[in-house]
Amino acid sequence: MTPPRTPPRTALRDPKQDRSRATRRRLLEAAVACLAEHGWTRSTVAVVAERAGVSRGAAQHHFPTREDLFTAAVEHVATERSAALRALHVRERQERERAEERGGAEVVGLVGVLVDLYTGTLFRAALQLWVVASYEEQLGARVAALEARIGRETHRMAVELLGADENVPGVRESVQGFLDMARGLGLANILTDDRARRDRVVAQWARILDDALRAPH
């Protein structure tokens, strides 16, 4: 083990900067929650500021325009999703090392966990932004770039988690199609609680995916 390093002089904490960072983070999290619950139309800077317990002036200091706030919120969504996926990956790897071997039952569990990433608040917020970005040109380019980055990262994680070998022809598309299914299942959960149906679909498709990854076409 390496000894803990003493913090460099520039990293000394500045209480004012800390407060500013905390305010910024509260605004971003409020923006994500607002988007997920109330959609784009009702998610104004004023509504987000009130939810965050921040003055409108302070909100506008951090994010001069509505687009700035929600673009930064997309970044925040992306970072949170990434962190959740990384944490999941580490846990799964530890469990795999303890079990020493992978089996079909494990793939079924992994498929369920990956699908769950598309049914929470982060997916709801991302979906709202995705849909609005389809006709809001300025937002569109930024969100498209972000989504491409998230898509690549999610794919990489899924490949690692599932222990898939992308050198085998078809395996890359098998994993991609599975993530498209997960996205579709997330969308099906937006209007009504779709859990019962989703659980049955996940159980069936986890078996199909497991076969496809073991005996690729």
> Which stretches of the chain bind its own copies, using CB under 8 A?
37-42, 124, 127-128, 130-136, 140, 143-144, 147-148, 170, 173-174, 176-188, 190-192, 197, 200-201, 203-205, 207-208, 211-212, 217
To its own copies, the closest distance from the beta carbon of 140 in angstroms equals 7
Residue (62 or 110) nearer to its own copies, CB: 110
Residue (58 or 159) nearer to its own copies, CB: 159
To its own copies, the closest distance from the beta carbon of 94 in angstroms equals 29
Neighbour count for residue 185 (Cβ, 10 Å): 19
Residue (69 or 212) nearer to its own copies, CB: 212
Residue (22 or 168) nearer to its own copies, CB: 168
To its own copies, the closest distance from the beta carbon of 209 in angstroms equals 8
Return the exposure string of 92-127: e unless at least 16 CB atoms fall within 10 Å of the residue's CB, then b. beeeeeeeeeeeeebbbebbeebbbbbbeebbbbbb
End-to-end Cα separation, the chain, in angstroms: 46
- CA distances, 100 to each of 109, 139, 204 (Å): 16, 46, 25
Q: 3-class SS at 8?
A: coil
To its own copies, the closest distance from the beta carbon of 194 in angstroms equals 10
In one letter, which amino acid is 14? D
Note the Cα 121 to chain centre separation in Å: 9
Residue (85 or 150) nearer to its own copies, CB: 150
Q: 3-class SS at 194?
A: coil
To its own copies, the closest distance from the beta carbon of 92 in angstroms equals 22
Residue (96 or 172) nearer to its own copies, CB: 172
To its own copies, the closest distance from the beta carbon of 206 in angstroms equals 10
**Calpha distance 194→178 (Å, rounded):** 18
Residue with tokens 């159980």: 203
